[in-house]
Structure 1
Amino acid sequence: MITLEELQRSPSAMHDLALHFDFDVSRAARDNAWVKLSPPQPFTVVAGDSSGGVFLAYGDGTIERRPILYASSEGQAGGLACSLAELLGLMTALPRWHDLLKFSGNGDLQEMRRTAGLIGQDGPGDEEQPAAARRLIEALVLPVVADPVKLLHDGVHASVCNVIGEDGLPYASLFGHFKSSDNPFWKRST
């Protein structure tokens, strides 16, 4: 199992994660006083992304064995993985997980599978991403995720913790209401 300290000691892995997967460990040090969890739990911000979202390890125990919650800067939150290693394995298998959730039809697994296929037809948005994924899997000894779509689906559905906004209301689900048929680019290709 990869530890946060091991990850931080690997500049090349941190570079690949930040540049190709928008998982930037250096963003964890930013002011995260706005994060309030329900039910209240201890948490550690392990990384941030370029849009202002954060990845949180919450609960008790070592950071590497805690579940990971993602909170976007747009007011959405949800669980992604059971551990840091599982999250990194998921991200390397599904680098466009944000798009997959956006076009999930409110978290319908079959719709997510259709969307994943259409995203796959788009090819990598980042030509270096497949090579970066291979480097990360090898360097960090990440778990192979047999069914990343189901893992993501189940992780978000199993969320037992949420982020509370400044208005006192819980963040919305990470599942978007759009379906793959709502994307005009995919409509032309189907």
Structure 2
Amino acid sequence: MQSLITAVREYDAAAQYLAWPGDFEPDRADHGEDVHLASGAALEGFAGDGAGGTYFFCGAGGEERPVLYADSEGGAALVAIGLPELLRLLLVAPWWRDCREFTAEESQELAAEYLADMPDLAARRDRAAAALGLDLPTEVDALRRMRETATASGEHFILVLTSEGEPYDPLFAG
């Protein structure tokens, strides 16, 4: 069976949607700073975004491992348990970084801004999801799950800037 990250690279509809509006680039896995998990668990960068953020797999295993996102400003959060969950989030709520309250109203406002620029957003999203074989949750469910992951499980995934021994700030308040 083909890995999901390989499928992202091979299916144009998925790669294009995840590149924009998802801001997810599987060929941009170098974080630029030496970091580690406070727990000592393995950390593997596997994708990035245009602003210098990095997605990391945490611990041992494959694409089912927890996914931590670190931005270029010293913030980090566990955002998904496994690559399929991360891709679902990026497909249905590519504006997740701008959500601070995680409400349906906030998500709808952000979605409206994206739709104003990309009227075919839903059709592109659906083609990408179909190419990857992913069923999609609602925006609200995806954001709720990400918040639960970041605030409940995330406390066990503290990213540390190795050179200074200082932890990254949490991206989201508990």
Give the TM-score of the pair, scaled to structure 2: 0.84
Are residue 124 (structure 1) and residue 115 (structure 2) matched?
yes
AA aligned opposite 2:110: I
Match of 2:158 in 1: 162
- Which segments of structure 1 move beyond 6 Å, counting only runs of 4 or more? none
Q: Percent identity?
A: 28
State which structure, 1 or 2, has the greater radius of gyration over its C-alpha atoms: 1
What CA distance in whole angstroms lies between the structure 1 residues aligned with 2:171 and 2:111?
Answer: 20
Structure with more strand by fraction: 2
Q: Please, which runs of 5 or more residues in structure 1 have no aligned partner?
A: 178-190
AA aligned opposite 1:149: L
RMSD: 2.3
Q: Please, which runs of 5 or more residues in structure 2 have no aligned partner?
A: none
Do the aligned partners of residues 40 and 126 (structure 1) sit closer, same or farther apart at CA in structure 2, a change above 3 Å counting?
farther
Give the TM-score of the pair, scaled to structure 1: 0.77
Q: What does residue range 131-170 of structure 1 map to in structure 2 within 5 Å?
A: 131-146=123-138, 147-157=141-151, 158-159=153-154, 160-165=156-161, 166-170=163-167
AA aligned opposite 1:167: E
AA aligned opposite 2:15: M
What CA distance in whole angstroms lies between the structure 2 residues aligned with 1:175 and 1:86?
Answer: 18
What CA distance in whole angstroms lies between the structure 2 residues aligned with 1:120 and 1:9?
Answer: 27
Confirm or deny: 8 A CA contact 1:44 1:57 kept in the other structure: yes
Deviations 1:106-152 (A, max 9, x none): xxx5xx34422332444536404333211111100113224122112
Q: How many equivalent pairs are there?
A: 167
